[in-house]
Amino acid sequence: MKNIAVIGAGTMGNGIAHVFAQNGYQVKLIDISQASLDKGMATIGKNLDRMVAKERISESDKEGTLNNISTFNSLSKGVSDVDLVVEAATENLDLKLKIFKELDEICADKTILATNTSSISITQIAAVTSRPEKIIGMHFMNPVPIMKLVEIIRGYSTSDETTNIIMELSSKLGKTPTEVNDYPGFVANRILMPMINEAIETLYNGVAGVQEIDTVMKLGMAHPMGPLQLADFIGLDVCLSILNVMYDGFKNPKYAPCPLLVNMVMAGKFGVKSGEGFYDYSESRRAETVSKQFR
């Protein structure tokens, strides 16, 4: 595999494009919004600058990485002649099904179609295509350039060949691929999201404040980041979407999102990306907080 298309230039999409490009792959980054593409490329540039400053890569490595990425507003142009497509659009089932139907029609028969979904069924996505054996989940962790794990999720019809190719590819990116089966939330979010939701419930019930809850989990459980700060970093809207997927999938009340989380999302308080969540992320504080994630 040499040619990769990444759909979506947001936090996850630009991170995935960054990692592939830094490892020598030709990457086509696709987004319908030119502003998103510009912002995504700027983010990649800033993250590479940090790596240069820390002497993890050279200036020529940075330039080579950027030169390996081309941007497209058109899906049909962006996915022509690629070996792999990694979809990293919004965590919305209808949108993902629409994208995969289009990809199935446009892409060459050889092309493997992967999704970075953090909770949605791979089997359900594969069912709208004529190549279910070539549909697989590649759930990267945020921030993608730093985090080593990639959850590799097999759908009901995903072939051994496809799985082996993606496992090997993930290893070549310097990641640690871990194969899991196709159930709502997979492993990472099935365990993480109930913990975050319980932390929000603890705040909602007045047991302790935001900083106190995060301090207990950081100092008492050796977590590098408290659950409320982590929720802000992930995006409260994303957390809510994942919990809803698991609640719908399992019909178990333990996955029902806390009313406080629902209200915050309705109020537009998504965390870091909106400037406010459980913590304040004004422009000066936002830059400081995001910078710490790459230290």
Q: Which two tokens stand for residue 162?
A: 């496809």
Half-sphere exposure of 217 (CA within 13 A, CB side): 22
Whole-Å CA distances, 109 to 112, 132, 135, 224: 8, 12, 12, 43
Residue 71: closest CA among 21, 112, 106, 113: 21
Tell me if residue 151 is catalytic: yes
Structure tokens at 149: 């794990």
Distance CA(249)–CA(251), nearest Å, equals 6
For the chain, the residue count is 295
Catalytic residue (one of 151, 197, 241, 276): 151
Angle at 131 between CA 125 and CA 133, to 5 degrees: 85
Q: 139, 170, 197, 241: which is the annotated catalytic residue?
A: 139
- Indicate which residue of 189, 197, 241, 274 is catalytic: 189
Residue 91: how many CA atoms within 13 Å on its side-chain side? Answer: 24
Q: Measured between alpha carbons, how far is 155 from 157 in angstroms, rounded to an integer?
A: 5
119 is annotated as an active-site residue: no
State the DSSP code for 177.
E
259 half-sphere exposure, CB direction, 13 A CA radius = 2
Active-site residue flag, 197: no
The secondary structure element, H or E, covering residue 149 is strand 149-154
Bond into 177 cis (ω within 30): no
CB atoms closer than 10 angstroms to residue 251: 8
Rounded Cα distance between 83 and 165, Å, is: 11
Q: What angle do CA 27, 107, 157 make, to 5 degrees?
A: 105
Catalytic residue, from 47, 118, 170, 241: name it.
118
From the annotation, which residues make up the binding site for NAD(+)? 8-13, 31, 91, 96, 118, 142, 273
Output the known binding site.
Answer: 8-13, 31, 91, 96, 118, 142, 273
Residues with catalytic annotation?
118, 139, 151, 189
